[in-house]
Amino acid sequence: MNDLRKHFVVEPGSKVDLSRIDPGDTSRIGTKEEARKRLEDAIEIDGLQDRLFAEGQRALLIVLQGMDTSGKDGTIRAVFRATGPVGVVVTAFNRPTPEELAHDFLWRVHKACPRRGTIGIFNRSQYEDVLIGRVRKLAPAHVIEHRYNQINAFEDMIASSTKVLKFMLHISKDEQAERLKARLEDPRKHWKFDPGDLEDRGLWSDYMHAYEQVLSRCSTELAPWYVIPSDKKWARNAAIASIVRRTLEEMNPRYPNPDWDPEEFRVV
Amino acid sequence: MNDLRKHFVVEPGSKVDLSRIDPGDTSRIGTKEEARKRLEDAIEIDGLQDRLFAEGQRALLIVLQGMDTSGKDGTIRAVFRATGPVGVVVTAFNRPTPEELAHDFLWRVHKACPRRGTIGIFNRSQYEDVLIGRVRKLAPAHVIEHRYNQINAFEDMIASSTKVLKFMLHISKDEQAERLKARLEDPRKHWKFDPGDLEDRGLWSDYMHAYEQVLSRCSTELAPWYVIPSDKKWARNAAIASIVRRTLEEMNPRYPNPDWDPEEFRVV
């Protein structure tokens, strides 16, 4: 497959109009059968993660953002199905605790950044503070406004040891309706449903505008945003697995050379 | 398969003689082909973990201990290969940092305990402080002596919200020799080898004695130890997957009932 990164990346400095990106587009991925067969990306990610861990010098941070039901957990399961939990740390950012609120908005985020050698995955992230924060006016406008630059500066700083990839899981309002209905109909999915989700749904266009601000202002060379059409789960998973794999291949982590001579040791 | 727990558990209060437990024993597991085919344990663990997460009331803590090369990482990969990193947190306890040393020995352990709804896996644990701590005399004898009771009291406390399973991966000294040689011969495995491993190997019988103390004194109803014959990786993985599955089934986590009425909501 060709390098999907260039198709989905938000070019730094460009202006994003989400209404021009079709959430149902699968043209870059191929057929569902082809995508299903592409197990090799997940397997390659596993091997690359092992090298990253062995090298112990750099980290990878994957940020997942999207409207409710866009499939953040499902993406993690699919992309890291071969990798397992060793060396992969998932952090879900929910409503901040009183302790977190007593600090600046990046404090809890910084604490959760992956250590060298590991892959960190953020299910929601610092961007909530310019998404729900903006839409629901959880802070004064000038404070929110300042945060875009603060986030860029923060990501620039962690980029010294961490490769950052940010994915917006782009679904349509119609697709969300289907998925919310499924949650309401299946008792095993009730726990995933929060009546507040419907309020956010009512603010859909405000959220899309807030996402456009994020994508336009916070996609950088060191920490690019990718907009992933996500109405089709299989296309979403295939796109992200491919981009994660390519990124790790480019990082090219290496098994370290020991500071001892293997010839010197005898196991007795 | 019958309930393997009763075959491998250390009965609380019993005295363990590791020389009487054959690390190569596979008689409880069956043939390698049978074990390989038993994918269903890993798949069931995945489904049970989802229910545990949804319920959000209880945690599972899995402690893995064993001599170098006994396969702690490999066990995690195999047992949780279907589960993935969401809701599973692995903590490796290595040499304590200055900050950790400035606290009591359980401080860093407590911080790493799994939150309700999740599975925590400890690669090494509080038991290092009565294993290497005892063998290498890292603290005065009376301090080490006190720790067994302190660990029991600690585990009793966390057991109010957390089910605790402790596995000793029991390998033979001969099998360790093979695995260490493999590490020395494969450049991709050099990073796993530490010349200090050979020193620990030289203290094998001291370590076995320290393990026997641990197993005899710290296997409790609420936090039992299991001794898992681990010379055969496939038998080790099958035994632990089966015990984890049975334990989760017995915990029987349930999807919670919502505090709202599904009939009341319309997705528009």
**Residue B264: which pLDDT band, with cuts at 50, 70 and 90?**
confident
Evaluate whether residue B39 is within a structural domain. yes
What is the longest distance spanned by two Cα atoms in chain B?
70
In a domain, B261, yes or no: no
Q: For residue B1, what pLDDT band results from cuts at 50, 70 and 90?
A: low
pLDDT confidence band for A247 (50 / 70 / 90): very high
CA distance A9 to A7: 6
Q: Return the pLDDT at A119.
A: 98
Helix axes B141-158, B204-218, angle to 10 degrees: 40
Q: Are A70 and A34 in contact (CB under 8 A)?
A: no
Q: Is B134 among the domain residues?
A: yes
Residues of B in contact with A193 (CB under 8 A): 258
**Residue A185 CB: number of other CB atoms within 10 A?**
10
Residue A264 predicted with pLDDT over 80: yes
Residue A258: what pLDDT?
85
Mean of the pLDDT values across residues B177-188?
Answer: 93
Looking at the domain assignment, is residue B234 inside a domain? Answer: yes
Q: Quick check: B258 and A90 CB within 8 A?
A: no
Instruction: Write the ipTM.
Output: 0.87
Q: Which of A68, A265, A266, A268 to mutate to test the interface with B (most CBs of B within 10 A)?
A: A265
Which is nearest to A155 in space by CA: A113, A188, A197? A113
Q: How many CB pairs under 8 A join A and B?
A: 101
Does position A4 have pLDDT exceeding 70, yes or no? yes
Mean pLDDT over all residues of chain B? Answer: 95
Please indicate, yes or no, if residue B78 is contained in any of the structural domains. Answer: yes
pLDDT reading at A36 higher than 90:
no
| Per-residue pLDDT tens over the stretch B185-215 | 998 999 999 888 899 999 999 999 999 999 9
Q: Categorize the per-residue pLDDT at A262 as very low, low, confident or very high, splitting at 50, 70 and 90.
A: confident
The answer to whether the CB atoms of A90 and B86 lie below 8 A apart is yes
Confidence band, pLDDT 50/70/90 cuts, at residue A260: confident
Report pLDDT digits (tens) over A37-70: 777 898 999 999 999 999 999 999 999 999 999 9
How confident is the model at residue B259, as a pLDDT? 85
Tell whether B248 lies on the interface with A, counting CB pairs under 8 A.
Answer: no
Q: pLDDT tens digit string along A70-93?
A: 999 999 999 998 898 999 999 999
Query: Average pLDDT of chain A?
Result: 95
In a domain, B258, yes or no: no
Per-residue pLDDT tens over the stretch B30-58: 999 888 877 789 899 999 999 999 999 99
A187 contacts on B by Cβ (under 8 Å): 255
The pLDDT score that the predictor gives to residue B216 is 98
Res B137: pLDDT: 97
Contact map slice: B 59-78 vs A, CB within 8 A: 73, 76-77
Query: What is the reported pLDDT for A146?
Result: 97
Task: Check residue B108 and give its pLDDT.
Answer: 98
**What is residue A214's predicted lDDT score, i.e. its pLDDT?**
98
Domain assignment present for residue B119? The answer is yes
For residue A1, the model assigns a pLDDT of: 54
pLDDT at residue B40, as a whole number: 87
Q: Which of A193, A255, A260 sits opposite B187 (nearest CB)?
A: A255
Q: In chain A, pLDDT over 70 holds for what percent of residues? A: 99
Q: Which whole number is the average pLDDT over A176-200?
A: 92
Listed residue (A1, A104, A117) closest to A53, CA to CA: A117
Question: Which amino acid is it at A146?
Answer: H
In angstroms, the Cα distances linking A167 to A6, A63, A88 are 13, 6, 17
The residue-averaged pLDDT of B68-78 equals: 96
Q: Would the CB atoms of A177 and B268 count as touching at under 8 Å?
A: yes
CATH number at residue B70: 3.40.50.300
Q: Which amino acid is at A248?
A: L
Domains of chain B: total? 1
Residues of chain B with Cβ-Cβ distance to A195 below 8 Å are 260, 265
| CA nearest to B87 within chain A | A90
Are the Cβ atoms of A188 and B54 closer than 8 angstroms?
yes
In a domain, A265, yes or no: no
Which residues in chain B are closer than 8 Å to A255, comparing Cβ atoms? 187-188, 190-191
Domain holding B35, by residue range, is 5-253
**Residues 6 or more apart in contact with residue A115 via CB below 8 angstroms:** A59
